[in-house]
């Protein structure tokens, strides 16, 4: 009997997720939505990192594709993501007694615009910001690509959560 109840629950959850009504991640992607678009996020920060636009745009596309059953298209889509990178900065976070930085902080900020063709109220325009601290004795060049990867992953997750989990 317990086996039948368990199997029934699993089948019911499978049906809900297959229909796009509910996701096990808690995401609520509109059932009518079939397509999405992600515009290229240009780097408009005062300090520009050469590969950041491509890295961010590609990671956002990859994450959205992996977390939904939507088709990625160019141009007008049911769900649209656009924006730009508006901040890329390195600042000292802790100063030693000799007035030298012990740690530096790399911060990336992106402005995101999300439009849902089926529900104007769920759209938003918002800045998302994440950072990573690193040892000031290390050169930025030696840690930059790893820090960018970590920060971008968190930013992409934040954007997905805001768009589909609505935190």
**pLDDT tens profile 105-120:** 999 999 999 999 999 8
Residue-level pLDDT at 30 = 79
pLDDT for 24 beyond 80: no
- Of 114, 91, 101, 102, residue with least CA distance to 163: 114
pLDDT for 166 beyond 90: no
State mean pLDDT over 153-160. 97
Facing residues of 124 across strands? 114
Helix (H, G, I), strand (E, B) or coil at 46: coil
Helix (H, G, I), strand (E, B) or coil at 62: helix
Residue-level pLDDT at 5 = 56
b/e for 52-63, b at 16 or more Cβ within 10 A? bbebbbebbbeb
State mean pLDDT over 2-23. 50
Residue-level pLDDT at 11 = 52
- Of 117, 37, 105, residue with least CA distance to 70: 37
Q: How far apart are CA 72 and CA 79, in angstroms?
A: 10
pLDDT for 6 beyond 90: no
Helix axes of 52-67 and 140-160: crossing angle, nearest 10 degrees: 40
More confident residue, 128 or 98: 128
pLDDT for 19 beyond 50: no
Asked if 59 and 70 touch (Cβ cutoff 8 Å), the reply is: no
Q: Which fold has domain 29-165?
A: Double Stranded RNA Binding Domain (3.30.160)
- Of 107, 117, 114, residue with least CA distance to 165: 114
Query: Which tens digit of pLDDT belongs to each residue from 48-106?
Result: 999 999 999 999 999 999 999 999 999 899 999 999 999 999 999 887 777 777 899 99
């Amino acid at each position: 009997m317990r086996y039948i109840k368990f199997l029934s629950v699993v089948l019911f959850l499978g049906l809900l997720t297959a229909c796009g009504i509910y996701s096990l991640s808690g995401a609520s992607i509109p059932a009518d939505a079939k397509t999405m678009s992600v515009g290229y996020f240009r780097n408009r920060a005062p300090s520009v990192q050469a590969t950041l636009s491509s890295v961010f745009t590609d990671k956002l596309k990859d994450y959205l594709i992996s977390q939904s059953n939507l088709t990625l298209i160019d141009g007008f889509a049911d769900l649209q993501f656009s924006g730009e990178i508006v901040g890329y900065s390195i600042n000292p976070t802790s100063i030693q007694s000799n007035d030298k930085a012990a740690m530096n902080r790399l911060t990336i900020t992106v402005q995101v615009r999300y439009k849902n063709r089926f529900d104007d109220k769920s759209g938003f325009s918002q800045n998302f910001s994440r950072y990573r601290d690193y040892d000031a004795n290390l050169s930025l060049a030696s840690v930059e690509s790893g820090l960018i990867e970590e920060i971008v992953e968190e930013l992409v997750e934040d954007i997905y959560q805001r768009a589909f989990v609505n935190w």
